[in-house]
């Protein structure tokens, strides 16, 4: 029985990621479809939903993101995890403030070194925040960690095993329309629509995800739903998001905002989970 399996032996995200869903999975469980053929996640990020579903559904997964650095890292974890671990151990040994800022401006050529660099920066930067400037350069300051866990051998190894059955590619979210068919499950976790003018963080890469992008995503959601695809989307709890998805099932989720320059503005908030299907119709 799944309840008897130790959580220590289950795959989990190997990256910290702004908006990651690890802490929300328990609230999402009642809304996951009970059955689907293939699983698509077009905004991969930390992959928490994929790792959760992998052990429970054992279906084919297609994991994509527009962030080429991120996708390269997943591919290296999948295909070359032992070599990647060796590089991370070296980063862990070398870590210091000077080393961090030197690595932040370093351009690696090999795919493995690029992946190790991304994981190293992810584990040591401020709040695990991935952000690029207009030139595609990582520009997050170093976090205040006394002893960051840079090389998590167990997490990387378990993730590598889970990823063996997944297809991993660089794709924009619209491309899911070329693949998903009836009875497949698509989960969208886009950059959230800002809840205020002071929380306008809509891009984890050089590509902005503005209001027009949110509407384009809604249109993709609608087309998939019309095909009979089971679609789920998470986003901020705003009147704009509720309005553009008003024809679908909207569920309220309690979350914690962890990233804000003002510590007083961190804390409990609500988010929405939108589904194209109702639980009574899911079979």
Q: What is the pLDDT of residue 37?
A: 94
Q: Has residue 177 been placed in a domain?
A: yes
Residue 272 above 70 pLDDT? yes
Residue 265 above 70 pLDDT? no
Question: What are the angstrom distances between the C-alpha of 148 and each of 5, 64, 127, 204?
Answer: 28, 28, 11, 22
Entry pTM: 0.89
Same domain, 149 and 43: no
Contacts of 164 (CB under 8 A, 6+ apart): 78
Q: Has residue 217 been placed in a domain?
A: yes
Q: Has residue 119 been placed in a domain?
A: yes
Mean pLDDT, rounded, of the chain: 88
Residue 75 above 90 pLDDT? yes
The pLDDT confidence band at residue 134, using thresholds 50, 70 and 90, is confident
Same domain, 44 and 176: yes
SS3 36: coil
Same domain, 186 and 233: yes
Mean pLDDT of 45-67: 92
| CATH code of residue 135 | 1.10.1020.10
Mean pLDDT of 269-279: 94
211: containing domain: 2-68+165-281
Gap between the Cα atoms of 176 and 42, Å rounded = 7
Same domain, 267 and 214: yes
Q: Has residue 160 been placed in a domain?
A: no
Same domain, 124 and 199: no
Gap between the Cα atoms of 77 and 79, Å rounded = 6
- Number of domains observed in the structure of the chain: 2
Residue 3 above 50 pLDDT? no
Q: What are the pLDDT digits (tens) for 162-203?
A: 999 999 999 999 999 999 999 999 999 999 999 875 554 444
| CATH code of residue 27 | 3.40.50.150
Same domain, 274 and 169: yes
């Amino acid at each position: 029985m799944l309840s008897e399996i130790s959580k220590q032996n289950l795959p989990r995200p190997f990256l910290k990621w702004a908006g990651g869903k690890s802490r929300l999975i328990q609230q999402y469980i009642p809304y996951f479809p009970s059955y689907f053929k293939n699983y698509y996640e077009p905004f991969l990020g930390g992959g928490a939903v994929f790792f959760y579903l992998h052990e429970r559904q054992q279906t084919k997964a297609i994991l994509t993101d527009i962030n080429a650095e991120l996708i390269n890292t997943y591919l290296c974890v999948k295909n070359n995890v032992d070599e990647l671990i060796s590089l991370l151990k070296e980063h862990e040994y070398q870590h210091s403030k000077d080393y961090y800022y030197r690595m932040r401006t370093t351009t690696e050529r090999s795919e493995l070194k690029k992946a190790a660099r991304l994981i190293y920066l992810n584990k040591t930067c401020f709040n695990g925040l991935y952000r690029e400037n207009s030139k595609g350069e990582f520009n997050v300051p170093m976090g205040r960690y006394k002893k960051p866990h840079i090389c998590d051998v167990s997490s990387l190894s378990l993730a590598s095993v889970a990823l063996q059955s997944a297809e991993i590619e660089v794709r924009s979210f619209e491309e899911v329309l070329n693949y998903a068919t009836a009875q497949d499950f698509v989960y969208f976790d886009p950059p959230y629509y800002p809840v205020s003018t002071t929380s306008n963080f809509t891009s984890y890469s050089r590509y902005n995800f503005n209001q027009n992008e949110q509407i384009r995503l809604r249109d993709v959601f609608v087309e998939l739903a019309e095909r009979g695809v089971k679609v789920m989307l998470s986003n901020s709890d705003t009147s704009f998001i509720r309005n553009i998805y008003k024809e679908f099932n909207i569920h309220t989720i309690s979350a914690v905002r962890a990233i804000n320059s003002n510590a007083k503005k961190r804390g409990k908030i609500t988010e929405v989970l939108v589904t194209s299907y109702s639980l009574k119709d899911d079979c």
